């Protein structure tokens, strides 16, 4: 077992029909059990990055290592995809079967799991995401958040070590977004699954352990949410929002109120303000 | 209202017939079709009627649903009957008026072909009434899988059918959404003559096709991400197993065939 789960070395990616690379010389490592948010506005290359992490795309230059396996090496392709499960943006377009049970089994069938072991693994996966009561439902009758949780269950049944979520909450309503985020956060906390959470919602990124910001195919920021969101000017120049509380703190500081850097949530703000009122 | 869209005519229940292996039911239907073609005289239909009645009882499908399965055929039935009735050749004339002549052979043929059609359709619709579409695809895949030797894409075909079944409700929903959106922009889908109405479908079909292609691309990506790489080395959640019930059903259809042959021999 290695501590480095994903390791990218000078990775560039060029879509065949385009002149400008979608990713330029990106290098980073993600450790086992980390919860990383990848931020970027549309067309920044964050979706390309997601697909590089499990060998759906192969880098034009550089190497991508998943648990020390090179994604370019065809003998590791299925191993890597089984270990780094991926959830996509559109909940409708990633469910294959007509019944929830069969869809959760789909990945296991592909990797050749013994049919005798499948029912127990389906039950475990669906229980983990809280979808067990929907075992025999047709997926098109579920809400967006429920469909995404079924998609996550389908990956959990394959017993992955990492989850890559490519804007998995972008098409969901606020309650669906919360459902999915909480489920993934719990998997990270309780089962130590490495999570790469690609999003453009700041309020989600604030709650991850580490935030990367991609702009124009380049890695611009990489650090804890406090470090990243205290750079209000830079974020705005990358066409990203600053979380509301961080903005309020910025405004207050610029008007001469003494507040520490790195306020991100209402709770942080409450604590600091109360401390100054006493 | 679209949410409960069901495909085919599956009648959900838990009967002897529903529990049979789909492969058994497909093979049973084939033997049944062959048996019907063995019938030469009207008496030969007596065992068929009895067998059909018994299987309907065993399947718990209501009689009304069985009758409904013939309804789409009524025009074809009428044609078959009328054409055979008046264009038979033979000596014995039963009825004659103006240019219409009904002969004995014509009447017999008319009855014969109509009954054959009715029994064919009711018998085979029992297959689709008692088997869910996905299970049916599953059974088909495994029945034709020996043909892989001659490069017949059995798994691919079944996978395509399953995905089609999965996406029909999604696409129907989408078509309705687009239709509403276009109606809101002044499109008219309901009035005008056939040509105008066909033309009005274009703003519905183009976006629908574009989105279907996008969905197909997304789905292919998602399937690959979940390690899909064709039928090779794939295991299945639902393992099909022949049981005692399948043997009983198999013997029953062979008995029917034997009885038909005997009846035809004697008469």
Query: A55: exposed, middle or buried (C-beta count within 10 Å: 0-12, 13-18, 19+)?
Result: buried
In-domain check, residue B147: no
Shared domain for B116 and B32, answered yes or no, is yes
Q: What are the pLDDT digits (tens) for A27-43?
A: 999 999 999 999 988 88
Residue A2: its pLDDT value, please? 52
Instruction: State whether A112 and B233 contact (CB < 8 Å).
Output: yes
Q: Per residue in B212-222, pLDDT tens?
A: 999 999 999 99
In a domain, B136, yes or no: no
Tell me the pLDDT tens digit for each residue of B125-146.
Answer: 888 888 888 888 889 888 988 8
Question: Please, what are the domains in chain A?
Answer: 4-224 (3.40.50.300)
pLDDT for position A131 = 93
Note whether A188 contacts B: Cβ–Cβ < 8 A.
no
Residue B59 lies in a domain: yes
Would strands A4-13 and A23-31 be described as parallel, antiparallel, or unpaired?
Answer: antiparallel
Task: Name the least confident of A131-145, B5-19, B30-44, B71-85.
Answer: B5-19
Tens-digit pLDDT profile for residues B1-16: 344 444 567 788 888 8
Tell which wins on pLDDT, A2 or B191.
Answer: B191
pLDDT the model gives residue B7: 53
Q: What are phi and psi of A142, to 5 degrees?
A: -90, 160
pTM of the prediction? 0.80
Q: Does A114 touch chain B (CB under 8 A)?
A: yes
When pLDDT is averaged across residues B184-208 and rounded to a whole number, the result is 85
Whether residue B252 is found in the same domain as residue B123? yes
Q: Does A78 touch chain B (CB under 8 A)?
A: yes
Handedness of CA A155, A159, A160, A163 (dihedral sign): positive
Query: Do the Cβ atoms of A23 and A52 come closer than 8 Å?
Result: yes
Q: Return the pLDDT at A109.
A: 92
ipTM: 0.85
Q: Do A86 and B165 touch (CB under 8 A)?
A: no
User: For chain A, what percent of residues have pLDDT higher than 90?
Assistant: 54
Q: What average pLDDT does the segment A169-179 reach?
A: 89
Contact A118/B at CB under 8 A? yes
Q: Say which of A88, A99, A114 has its CB closest to residue B222.
A: A88
Confidence at residue B185, expressed as pLDDT on a 0 to 100 scale: 87
Nearest CA in chain A to B229: A110
Q: Looking at the structure, do residues B81 and B174 belong to the same domain, yes or no?
A: no
Nearest-CA distance A250 → chain B (Å) = 41
B140 lies in a domain? no
Residue span of the structural domain in which B28 resides:
2-131+241-266
Q: How confident is the model at residue B190 (pLDDT cuts 50, 70, 90)?
A: confident
Specify if B235 maps to a domain.
no
pLDDT of amino acid B8: 62
Q: What part of A 2-21 touches B (C-beta under 8 Å)?
A: none
pLDDT at position B5:
44
Phi-psi category of residue B21: left, alpha or beta, with phi > 0 → left and psi -120 to 50 → alpha: beta
Q: How confident is the model at residue A259 (pLDDT cuts 50, 70, 90)?
A: confident
| Domain annotation covers residue B85 | yes
Q: Is A90 on the interface with B (CB under 8 A)?
A: yes
């Amino acid at each position: 077992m290695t501590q480095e789960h994903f390791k990218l070395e000078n990775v560039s990616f060029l879509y065949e029909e385009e002149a400008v690379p979608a990713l330029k010389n990106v290098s980073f490592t993600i450790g086992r059990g980390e919860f990383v948010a990848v931020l970027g506005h549309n067309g920044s290359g964050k979706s390309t990055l997601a697909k590089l992490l499990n060998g759906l795309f192969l880098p034009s230059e550089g190497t991508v290592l998943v648990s020390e396996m090179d994604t370019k090496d065809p003998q590791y392709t299925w191993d890597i995809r089984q270990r780094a499960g991926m959830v996509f943006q559109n909940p409708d377009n990633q469910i294959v079967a007509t019944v929830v049970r069969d869809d959760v089994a789909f990945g296991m069938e592909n990797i050749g799991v013994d049919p005798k072991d499948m029912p127990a693994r389906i039950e475990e996966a669906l229980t983990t995401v809280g979808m067990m009561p929907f075992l025999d439902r047709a997926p098109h009758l579920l809400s967006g958040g429920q469909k995404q949780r079924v998609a996550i269950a389908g990956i959990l049944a394959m017993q992955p070590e990492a989850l890559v979520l490519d804007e998995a909450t972008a098409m969901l309503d606020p309650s669906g977004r919360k459902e999915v985020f909480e489920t993934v956060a719990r998997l990270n906390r309780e089962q130590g699954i490495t999570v790469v959470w690609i999003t453009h919602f700041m309020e989600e990124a604030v709650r991850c352990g580490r935030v990367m910001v991609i702009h124009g195919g380049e890695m611009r920021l990489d650090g804890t949410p406090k470090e990243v969101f205290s750079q209000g000017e830079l974020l705005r120049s990358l066409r990203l929002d600053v979380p509301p509380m961080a903005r309020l703190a910025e405004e207050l500081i610029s008007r001469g109120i003494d507040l520490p850097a790195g306020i991100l949530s209402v709770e942080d703000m409450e604590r600091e303000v109360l401390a100054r009122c006493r | 209202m679209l949410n409960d869209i069901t495909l085919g005519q599956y009648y959900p229940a838990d009967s002897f017939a529903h529990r049979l292996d789909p492969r058994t039911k497909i093979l049973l239907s084939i033997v049944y079709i062959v048996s019907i073609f063995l019938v030469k005289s009207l008496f030969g239909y007596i065992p068929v009627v009895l067998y059909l009645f018994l299987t309907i009882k065993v399947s718990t499908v209501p009689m009304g649903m069985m009758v409904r399965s013939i309804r789409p055929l009524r025009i074809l039935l009428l044609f078959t009957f009328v054409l055979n009735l008046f264009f038979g050749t033979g000596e014995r004339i039963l009825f004659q008026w103006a240019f219409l002549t009904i002969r004995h052979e014509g009447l017999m043929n008319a009855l014969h072909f109509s009954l054959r059609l009715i029994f064919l359709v009711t018998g085979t619709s029992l297959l689709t009434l008692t088997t869910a579409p996905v299970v049916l695809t599953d059974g088909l895949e495994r029945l034709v899988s020996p043909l892989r030797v001659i490069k017949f894409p059995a798994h691919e075909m079944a996978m395509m059918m399953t995905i089609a079944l999965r996406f029909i409700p999604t696409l129907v929903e989408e078509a309705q959404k687009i239709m509403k959106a276009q109606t809101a922009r002044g499109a008219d889908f309901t009035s005008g003559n056939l040509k105008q109405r066909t033309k009005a479908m274009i703003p519905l079909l183009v976006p629908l096709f574009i989105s279907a292609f996008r969905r197909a691309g997304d789905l292919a990506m998602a399937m690959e991400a979940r390690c899909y790489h064709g039928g090779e080395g794939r295991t299945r959640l639902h393992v099909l197993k022949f049981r005692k019930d399948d043997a009983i059903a198999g013997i029953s259809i062979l008995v029917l065939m034997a009885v038909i042959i005997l009846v035809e021999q004697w008469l």
